[in-house]
Amino acid sequence: GAGVSQSPSNKVTEKGKDVELRCDPISGHTALYWYRQSLGQGLEFLIYFQGNSAPDKSGLPSDRFSAERTGGSVSTLTIQRTQQEDSAVYLCASSLAGSKDTQYFGPGTRLTVL
């Protein structure tokens, strides 16, 4: 079946612009996670959704970052007033509610802030 999909695959933006990154989880997966992979920080957790609510937002690096999930499916990560240090690969993962130890990752969105 279809895996986790993310769009766009690549995004180049200018400093100060807002960007939206989209994640489509595997059908039926109620848990959804966002991570970031950057050269300086490695792989780091950003936010976790169970259904449409986000019990853990502890990894969001600043108030410029926000995320939402609607209908228990698609999620959007928004970065406002982008900065060069936001350049990274943003990864989305999903899992079944009863199997949170098995997270399936999407291919990522590579964000470059000029």
Partner 1 sequence: GNSVTQMEGPVTLSEEAFLTINCTYTATGYPSLFWYVQYPGEGLQLLLKATKADDKGSNKGFEATYRKETTSFHLEKGSVQVSDSAVYFCALLDSSYKLIFGSGTRLLVRP
The yes or no reply on residue 21 touching partner 1 (CB under 8 A) is: no
CA 21/CA 10 separation, integer angstroms: 10
The yes or no reply on residue 81 touching partner 1 (CB under 8 A) is: no
Give the binding range for partner 1 (CB under 8 A) out of 16-24, 43-51, 63-71, 75-83: 43-51
- CA neighbours within 13 Å on the CB side: how many for 60? 18
The yes or no reply on residue 45 touching partner 1 (CB under 8 A) is: yes
CA 101/CA 39 separation, integer angstroms: 25
Closer CB to partner 1, 1 or 14, in the complex: 1
Contact 48, 58 (CB under 8 A): no
Burial track 36-55 (b if 16+ CB lie within 10 A, e otherwise): beeeeeeeeebbbbeeeebe
The yes or no reply on residue 68 touching partner 1 (CB under 8 A) is: no
- H-run or E-run covering 109: strand 109-113
User: Residue 81 Cβ, how far from partner 1 at the closest point, in Å?
Assistant: 26
The yes or no reply on residue 59 touching partner 1 (CB under 8 A) is: yes
The yes or no reply on residue 72 touching partner 1 (CB under 8 A) is: no
Query: How many residues make contact with partner 1 (CB under 8 A)?
Result: 23
Where on the chain is the footprint of partner 1 (CB under 8 A)? Answer: 31, 33, 35, 42-45, 48, 55-56, 58-59, 91, 93, 100-108
